[in-house]
Amino acid sequence: MSYSPRLMQLIDALRRLPGVGPKSAQRMAFHLLTRDRGGAEALVNTLGGALTGIGRCESSRMLCEGECGLCHERRAATGQLCVVEQPSDLMAVERSTDFRGRYFVLMGHLSPLDGIGPDELGFDRLEVLLREGWVREVILALNPSVEAEATAHLIEQMAKAAGATVTRIAQGVPMGGEIEYVDGGTLAHAFLRRQGSPQPES
């Protein structure tokens, strides 16, 4: 049995979402059309409003409406710039830490096979930020991968050329994890970036 052209278009459109396969897309399409047409209309209107009303900050590259609330002078005064791969990474740092500096969102990492180079990651804009002179520390909060390592290396060179120090968030054994099950790359990073315990005050 073949579906109608519009139903197939809807299923194909839903498959564009990350983690959604053919069966999940089909299930969503049937649900929206048979059980929740009101929800489908709300989704269409909300998505349309998001596409027209949400842009990208020229400085941080974060998704925002109008003026970006993450780029004001109070945050720049910390002298810290945290570089992340995705908007979701920024939200995780903002939600779970006390970091209150500024951010730069790469929107990915270097991947020559996918046609993602320095231009796609906004390295030219990052260089402008570094040359403004307020950045004293660049904090690399990238996901652990070979591509991210190459990305971090280039950013580190740019930061040092601008006179900024470079630090990385710690990567190691997760809480509740067992060393024997940790992959080799993670364990190697944990040993390479190990830290000493703070000395007790005398």
Residue 183, CA distances (Å) to 45, 94, 161 in order: 44, 28, 34
pTM: 0.82
pLDDT at 191: 74
| Region 71-86 average pLDDT | 94
One-letter amino acid at 17 equals L
Does 33 share its domain with 93?
Answer: no
Residue 117: inside a domain, yes or no? Answer: yes
pLDDT at 5 over 70: yes
Does 107 share its domain with 156?
Answer: yes
Residue 14: inside a domain, yes or no? Answer: yes
Count how many residues are written for the chain: 202
Q: Which CATH number covers residue 22?
A: 1.10.8.420
pLDDT at 201: 60
- Structural element, H or E, at residue 44: helix 37-53
Residue 62: inside a domain, yes or no? Answer: no
Q: Which domain range does residue 80 map to?
A: 73-192
Does 181 share its domain with 89?
Answer: yes
Does 129 share its domain with 183?
Answer: yes
Does 49 share its domain with 86?
Answer: no
Distance between CA 186 and CA 180 in Å, rounded?
12
